[in-house]
Chains A and B, each alone.
Chain A
Amino acid sequence: MIDYLIIPVIKLIVIFGVCLFFIAYTTWLERKVLGHFQLRLGPMRVGYHGLLQPIADGIKNFFKEEVIPENADKAVFLLAPIISISAAIILLAVIPFGKPITLFGKQITLYLANPSIGVLFILGFATLGAYGTILGGWSSGNKYGYMGGLRASAMIISYELSMAFSVIAIIMLSGSFSLVDMVNAQQNGIWNIIRQPVAFFVFFISGIAELNRIPFDMPEAESELCCGYNVEYSSMKFALFFLAEYTHLFVFASLVTTLFLGGWQGPALPGVVWFFIKTFAVIFICIWIRATIPRLRYDKVMKLEWKFMLPVAIANVIATGAVMALLG
């Protein structure tokens, strides 16, 4: 009873609570860091240096009026944010946050599940999250939203490939699909970022593209599409899209940590602390990129994937295989 029901439920509440708290504050971090990059202060009014801003935003969104456009496809319009947020949050279940700990004489693992197909699970459900974007754009019956949805699906179809191929190199090194095994395979102190620098760069760039972040934010390019797929959404539905986006950012950062930066491993501090330090370092780099690089043109984004990233990722897999075969 305790092992099968109570412990998992407590873990579920703690992991999702902590992660959603961090995700809410990622929005604050993004605004704050962006502000400082642009020589301004960012949110300052609500609480000390705007620390209560995410809560204020949540309350504000809650009380906004809900608008459903007249020529929207109502069922799909309502479904899209739900798909978006649930496909994003389910990914938190397989991320290993730390070493197993012993509490009250019981060994507790710091992840909800460790399926033998962990990394495939993340790749699969991350793609499904894109349905929210596409359907949201299509169903709102708005030209700009429609264009945003179309671009989102083109982006996902292309960048999914190079992302998967860069992960295959890591799978070959660790000999397993399970994220926990991947962290354990980096136990000797040599992280995968050193052994697989090419895979790291391909994964990072395609990850940012899949997250639809600047410089690849084609589906919501403000200057071209006036905010793209979510242009017709208001109130909590918009907030759900927003939250899903930041959940994906958080999951992407923790995936980079797990696959390339040795996961929870590090000296002195407990594993969980190391995990979150590395994760937020990756999130900071993402925000840094957003503040530095302007948006690419649409056809250049596609060219980058099909003519550069994908061939490089495939060559990397072949090279990894050859080296592994030579070294035995």
Chain B
Amino acid sequence: MDLIPVITIGVAAVLTALLVIFSKNTVHSALWMVGNCFCIAVLFLLLNSQFIAILQVIVYAGAIMMFILYAIMMLNLRENGEPATKKSLFIFRMALLILFLICLTNLCIGFSPLALKGDMVTQNMDHFGEVNLIANYIFSEGLIPFELISVLLTAAVVGAVYLAKKE
């Protein structure tokens, strides 16, 4: 794999991610986030996983960002000042960030290609993104977590509706 495109796209992904945070305008933030999704899709493409790349585009850049944009436009957040942030939350946020990084490191070590068995081995990395391989993995070995995640998502939707209906 060539390193130059990976580094270029990686830098672009980080830059767009930073712009998401530092844009004053909410819609601009959302747009930079679409750009960020695209950079990540290209990274997946460079890893030979076309399917995951296009899912990234359809699900995140297409559907979810469309929802977010719709919400932003519905609330008409066109010109607004900086929302007041509480200084006291700073330590909590830093703690959360560090916890997240620790979890991420653990995840990276646990899921290194050497630790995987079955279809998802390094020899198969060239076909990693092929639909058959992903489907076989999700619907056989990964079936229980997959179903649990769908239950979790449904629960989240039900919870959101309940919270919205309460008032």
Chain A contact residues, CB within 8 Å of chain B: 73, 76, 115-117, 120-121, 123-125, 127-128, 130-131, 134-135, 138, 146, 149-150, 153-154, 156-157, 160, 177
Contacts of B54 in A (CB 8 A): 117, 120-121, 124
Q: Inter-chain contact count A-B, CB under 8 Å?
A: 62
Q: What CA separation (Å) do A117 and B34 show in the bound complex?
A: 21
Q: Which residue of A lies closest to B55 (CB)?
A: A120
Q: Is the CB of B66 within 8 A of A123?
A: no
Contacts of B27 in A (CB 8 A): 73, 76, 135, 138
Q: Is the CB of B34 within 8 A of A131?
A: yes
Closest CB-CB distance, B75 to chain A, in whole Å? 11
Q: Is the CB of A124 within 8 A of B50?
A: no
Number of interface residues of B (CB under 8 A): 22
Closest CB-CB distance, B5 to chain A, in whole Å? 18
> Can you list, as one digit per residue, whether each of B60-79 has a CB less than 8 Å from chain A (1) or not (0)?
01110011011001100000
Q: Is the CB of B66 within 8 A of A127?
A: yes
Q: Is the CB of A128 within 8 A of B50?
A: no
Q: Is the CB of A150 within 8 A of B70?
A: yes
The 27 sampled A-B contact pairs (Cβ below 8 Å) are A73-B25, A73-B27, A76-B28, A76-B31, A116-B51, A116-B131, A117-B50, A117-B131, A120-B51, A120-B54, A120-B55, A120-B58, A124-B57, A124-B61, A124-B62, A127-B63, A128-B61, A128-B62, A130-B66, A134-B66, A134-B69, A134-B73, A138-B73, A150-B74, A153-B69, A153-B73, A177-B131
Q: What CA separation (Å) do A138 and B50 show in the bound complex?
A: 32
Contacts of A150 in B (CB 8 A): 70, 73-74
Q: Which residue of B lies closest to A176 (CB)?
A: B131
Q: Is the CB of A127 within 8 A of B131?
A: no
The 7 A-B residue pairs with the shortest CB-CB distance, nearest first, are A127-B62, A124-B58, A124-B57, A153-B70, A120-B54, A117-B54, A117-B50
Chain B contact residues, CB within 8 Å of chain A: 25, 27-28, 31, 34, 50-51, 54-55, 57-58, 61-63, 66-67, 69-70, 73-74, 130-131
Q: What CA separation (Å) do A43 and B99 show in the bound complex?
A: 68
Contacts of A116 in B (CB 8 A): 50-51, 130-131
Closest CB-CB distance, A31 to chain B, in whole Å? 32
Q: Which residue of B lies closest to A127 (CB)?
A: B62
Contacts of B67 in A (CB 8 A): 157
Contacts of A128 in B (CB 8 A): 57, 61-62
Q: Is the CB of B73 within 8 A of A117?
A: no
Contacts of B57 in A (CB 8 A): 124-125, 128
Q: Is the CB of A127 within 8 A of B73?
A: no
Q: What CA separation (Å) do A88 and B29 show in the bound complex?
A: 24
Contacts of B131 in A (CB 8 A): 116-117, 177
Q: What CA separation (Å) do A146 and B69 show in the bound complex?
A: 12
Q: Is the CB of B28 within 8 A of A149?
A: no
Q: What CA separation (Å) do A177 and B31 show in the bound complex?
A: 29
Closest CB-CB distance, A227 to chain B, in whole Å? 19
Q: What CA separation (Å) do A130 and B130 show in the bound complex?
A: 28
Q: What CA separation (Å) do A314 and B31 show in the bound complex?
A: 32
Q: What CA separation (Å) do A150 and B63 show in the bound complex?
A: 15
Taking A117-B50, A131-B34 as contacts, is the C-beta distance between A123 and B73 under 8 angstroms?
Answer: no
